[in-house]
Structure 1
Amino acid sequence: MLKSLSISNYALIDKVEVVFDGGLTVITGETGAGKSVLLGALSLILGQRSDTNALLNKEQKCVVEGEFFIGNYGLVDLFEDNDVDYEEVTIIRRELLPSGKSRAFVNDTPVNLGFLKGISAQLIDVHSQHQNLLLDDSGFHMMVVDTLADNAKLLTDYSQLFKNYKSLIKEIDAMIAENDKQKADLDYMQFQFEQLDSANLKVDEQKELEQSLEQLSHAEEIKTNLVEVVNNLSQEPSPVIDLLADSVSKLEKISSYLPDGDELRQRLESAKIDLKDLADDLETRSEDLDFDPETIQQVQERLDLIYGLQQKHRVDSIEELIALKDDLQQNIDKVNFFDDDLKSKQKALDTLKKDLNKVSASITKSRKGVFTLVKSSIEKQLQVLGIPHANFVIEHALSDEFTVNGKDEIQFLFAGNKGGVPAPINKVASGGEISRVMLSIKSLLSSSKGLPTIIFDEIDTGVSGEVADQMGGIMAHMGSSMQVISITHLPQITVKGDHHFKVFKTDQADKTISNIRKLSHEDRVVEVAKMLSGSTLSDAAIENARALLNN
């Protein structure tokens, strides 16, 4: 429910604050007083596009703020999914800056217009003359039937199945297209795979081969230096190891005279043993190392093979070549086992089709189950609204293909005259008849859809007298279960309101501004009297207005 609306610096409005209540609220005012401006400002917090031309003062920002009670409408998940703080009394604010930029906030959290539109669509339903175009929209017809049939759960189940169905079809199409391409490339892929597979590549092999080649290429130089080192350590004329042995012997002789003499001897003995082991190891290596042109050639050929494969496939490592081989193997397997994979996908698709047919059949049955209710209810309302021979028809057909809404094709047809042939509403109905049909539909939806607030923007255009009185009665009845706001120019509807606001203009020194105020009972008497007789009030008009309001 809309609890309050605050507007500043918008069009003809300098600053207004309006507090709303439940039931039926009527808003009246002379043509051009600013009733449409009020709706224009409201549209900003409903997520509509902004325009700096709407600024009254071009150097200041425009702020529109609405306070809503949303505790009964199951919006907690929507807020949580968008990381917006949920409050039962929620404040939506839209700011339009002089620069042309706009900002939107919900409970002081910045939000995008997508979220704003998503939440506002569940808070307010604004019905204006252009919305009558929905009567040409088969999607609107479907929504009306589904709402009255309470198909939300069925449609949720169907929607998930349909999403999976379309996704699987897309996947199968992509599989077939890819298979066709890979079939053409199969011989080449097989050749590449066999070439890589026969290379028998191993991880880290390249690094080991390059190190081995480096060593083999410098074998003579390495051997010469190793021999010299071994000679220095253990061969004549002055071997280091022998000198160390002699030094150990000398320390042993004097160790008893030194506080740490034995420790020093042991350290030198350990160094001698390490050098002896090192000398033996170096000698073994020098004996094992020989210049072998054949081995060098084998290593070089292996590296040339690896380098050639890397250059051919434009990679830098053996790991990448192995990964490429695995990918080729997978692609070859895909082609070879394509028929099996396709059969598996087709089987899954057939299962989805069966499930979709089952759910769509339930949806169809549920929709057909309310056709009679929709027809009789709308025709009864239209008869009350002055179309005694109204014939409202729901045309139904089944599609061969699944659609986002099932297999049903639904269209509303209408004939306003006795013996008339039902046809699409906007093709055969007058403006007044269209308004009455839409009001009948909205009235029927109100009890089922449970919209927090519905706003009628001069839906009474083209009607008067008894029909207008009945329209007011319908709105008042809707107001007993929801908040209804009606912008009207008819006294018959005005007097049905539980609350009455008047929009008016005042002239200031340099500008004209619009304002709005709530009318007391006596103010309402005067306003309705003006609507009955014009600006010149008579005692009869006052009494007539008082009687209408009292009734």
Structure 2
Amino acid sequence: MLTSLSIKNYALIDQLNVNFNDGFSIITGETGAGKSILLGGLSLILGKRADLSSLKDSSVKCVIEAVFNISNYHLKDFFEAEDLDYDEQTIIRREILPSGKSRAFVNDSPVNLSSLQLLGERLIDIHSQHQTLALTTDTFQFQVIDALANNDSNLQKYTSELKSYKTLKKELKSLLEFQAEAIKEHDYNSFLLNELLEAQLVDGELEALEEEYESLNNVESIKDNLGEAYQLLTDEQIGAISTLTALKSTLQKLSSFGSKYEDLYNRVNSSLIELDDVYREVDVLKDDLEADPNRLEIVDSKLRLLHNLMQKHVVESVSELINIKEQLEQKVAVTENLDEDIQHKEREINAKSEALDKLAKTIHDNRFKVLPELKAQLESILSGLGMPNAQFSIEVRLKDEYLSNGKDELSFLFSANKGGNYNELKKAASGGELSRIMLAIKSVLAKYIQLPTIMFDEIDTGVSGEISNKMGDIMREMSKTMQVFSITHLPQVAAKGHTHYKVYKEDINEVTHSNLVQLNHDERIVEIAQMLGGVEMSSSAIAHAKELLN
């Protein structure tokens, strides 16, 4: 509920600070006294765009601040989603700077207008001609029916399931599109993959094959050089082993004469051991080396295959070819497994569709059950508001299409006259009738859900005294479960309020100012008497005012 409002430098208001109570509050005042200014200030709090012309003094910023008690509004999740600090006593502040810039704050945290509008919708409902027209929309009419049907939890589940369903449908569409493209490439990818599979690629084999090719291709030259090396090692006259053996024998004779001679001996002995090992390996290589034209052809063919594949795929190593092979395997596998993936996705969609159908049927059944009750309540209330022949024809029919709030098609028709044809509200009801229908609907809703603070702006315009009296009763009854404001020119309605505020204008130093004050009991008598009989109050007007208040 709105607990206080502060306005500085807005329109005709210099400074205004007012506290509000729960229950039913009345706001009265002469035409032009500034009631619209009050509504304008509240609209800024609710996220309306600011206008520099609203500043009373264009050199000073305008500040409007409202305090709300939101303990019963279940808004913690909203505050968390909007990244705002939650407080049961929430303060909304709007500033319009002389530069024309506007700033908004919720509990001192800056917010953008879209967030402020979303919050404002949950805090105050200002009844206006535009809001009355909302009554003619399917969205609003469904909200009314679902409130009576207690469909909130079902609708939340349905919304969640519908979101999942749409995601699955989108994923299936992507899979089908991908499959169509993949099929075009599948044959070519399979051909490339088979080429690489047949090549039996092994990481590092290119270097080994090149080495083997050089050996096989130069076998005679290698054999000649190995034979010459063998001769140089083993020749009895000049062979390296014979010479090194003689050197070892000579140095052995010196090794007993000191460590430096012994060290020379040991070094030569190590060299002889190593040279002997070289000799044995040369001997083996020489004997094992043979020309192998068949193997040379095989190696040459494999090398040419590898080089051709690397050139074809524009890479420089076998390991890169192996990576490409693995990528092709994935593409081909994905394409071949797409049918299974698509079937799995279709099964998921069918299961989700069944869950949605079940929820939609529950929502529909709940709606269908409360339609007679809603129709009876509305017709009963409107009968007391001077529309005794008002009748509604409300139907819900299940369709095949998944809508945002179920699968129902709604027919919400109205007839104001006995024997008249039913038609859509916007065609069958006048502006004054729509206002009374909206009041009736709001009064019904107040019994079933926690509505935000509501402010009726002259909803009783153009009705008789007896009907206005009934409207006042309805608004007072609504105020048992919510905070209700009524801006009115009718004394019958004004007398119903728990609290009464008056908007008035006064001239100070030839400047007009608007203000708002709470009236005490005696001041209420005077105000209502003036509403009954004008500024020159008669004793009968005062007596009538007292009677209304009592």
Displacement of 1:150 after TM fit? 0.9
Report the counterpart of residue 293 of structure 2 in structure 1.
Answer: none
Report the counterpart of residue 118 of structure 2 in structure 1.
Answer: 118
CA contact (8 A) 1:210 1:303 kept: no
Report the counterpart of residue 132 of structure 2 in structure 1.
Answer: 132
CA distance in 1 between counterparts of 2:212 and 2:42 reads 84
Q: Could you give the per-residue CA deviations for residues 458-505 of structure 1, whole angstroms, max 9, x where no partner exists? A: 211221311111101111111122111111122111111111111222
Q: Could you give the per-residue CA deviations for residues 507-543 of structure 1, whole angstroms, max 9, x where no partner exists? A: 3457533221111222222222222223333333233
Q: Could you give the per-residue CA deviations for residues 22-58 of structure 1, whole angstroms, max 9, x where no partner exists? A: 1101111222222122222212222333333333333
CA contact (8 A) 1:435 1:461 kept: no
Q: Could you give the per-residue CA deviations for residues 193-238 of structure 1, whole angstroms, max 9, x where no partner exists? A: 3344445556x75xx8589979999xx9xx99xx9xxxxxxx99xx
CA contact (8 A) 1:6 1:66 kept: yes
Report the counterpart of residue 309 of structure 2 in structure 1.
Answer: 305
Letter in 2 for 1:484: V
Structure 2 residue 331 is matched with structure 1 residue 324: no
Report the counterpart of residue 357 of structure 2 in structure 1.
Answer: 357
Q: Could you give the per-residue CA deviations for residues 401-432 of structure 1, whole angstroms, max 9, x where no partner exists? A: 22121121223222122222221122122222
Report the counterpart of residue 539 of structure 2 in structure 1.
Answer: 539
Displacement of 1:119 after TM fit? 2.8
Letter in 2 for 1:414: F
Judging changes above 3 Å, is the alpha-carbon distance between structure 1 residues 273 and 69 closer, same or farther for their aligned structure 2 residues? farther
Judging changes above 3 Å, is the alpha-carbon distance between structure 1 residues 333 and 102 closer, same or farther for their aligned structure 2 residues? farther
Q: Which runs of 5+ in 2 are unaligned?
A: 230-239, 290-295
CA distance in 2 between counterparts of 1:45 and 1:522 reads 33
CA distance in 2 between counterparts of 1:180 and 1:33 reads 71
Letter in 2 for 1:7: I
Q: After TM superposition, list the pairs within 5 Å mapping 1:414-429 onto structure 2.
A: 414-429=414-429
Q: After TM superposition, list the pairs within 5 Å mapping 1:110-509 onto structure 2.
A: 110-200=110-200, 205=204, 253=258, 302-303=306-307, 305-310=309-314, 317-318=320-321, 321-322=324-325, 324-334=327-337, 338=339, 340-509=340-509
Count of residue pairs the alignment pairs up? 519
Judging changes above 3 Å, is the alpha-carbon distance between structure 1 residues 165 and 533 closer, same or farther for their aligned structure 2 residues? same
Report the counterpart of residue 67 of structure 1 in structure 2.
Answer: 67
CA distance in 2 between counterparts of 1:47 and 1:278 reads 97
Q: When the two structures are superposed, what TM-score results if normalisation uses the length of structure 2?
A: 0.80
CA contact (8 A) 1:8 1:14 kept: yes
Q: Which has the larger radius of gyration?
A: 2
CA contact (8 A) 1:189 1:332 kept: no
CA distance in 2 between counterparts of 1:526 and 1:325 reads 91
Q: Could you give the per-residue CA deviations for residues 119-156 of structure 1, whole angstroms, max 9, x where no partner exists? A: 33222222112111112201111110000111111112
Structure 2 residue 50 is matched with structure 1 residue 50: yes
Report the counterpart of residue 528 of structure 1 in structure 2.
Answer: 528
Judging changes above 3 Å, is the alpha-carbon distance between structure 1 residues 445 and 279 closer, same or farther for their aligned structure 2 residues? farther
CA contact (8 A) 1:197 1:325 kept: no
Structure 2 residue 81 is matched with structure 1 residue 78: no
CA distance in 2 between counterparts of 1:505 and 1:215 reads 108
CA contact (8 A) 2:315 2:321 kept: no
Q: CA RMSD in A?
A: 4.3
Judging changes above 3 Å, is the alpha-carbon distance between structure 1 residues 327 and 523 closer, same or farther for their aligned structure 2 residues? same
SS of the counterpart of 1:523? helix
SS of the counterpart of 1:517? strand
SS of the counterpart of 2:48? coil
Letter in 2 for 1:379: E
CA contact (8 A) 1:431 1:462 kept: no
Calculate percent identity across the aligned residue pairs: 43
CA contact (8 A) 1:196 1:325 kept: no
Judging changes above 3 Å, is the alpha-carbon distance between structure 1 residues 481 and 307 closer, same or farther for their aligned structure 2 residues? same
SS of the counterpart of 1:421? coil
CA distance in 1 between counterparts of 2:131 and 2:542 reads 36
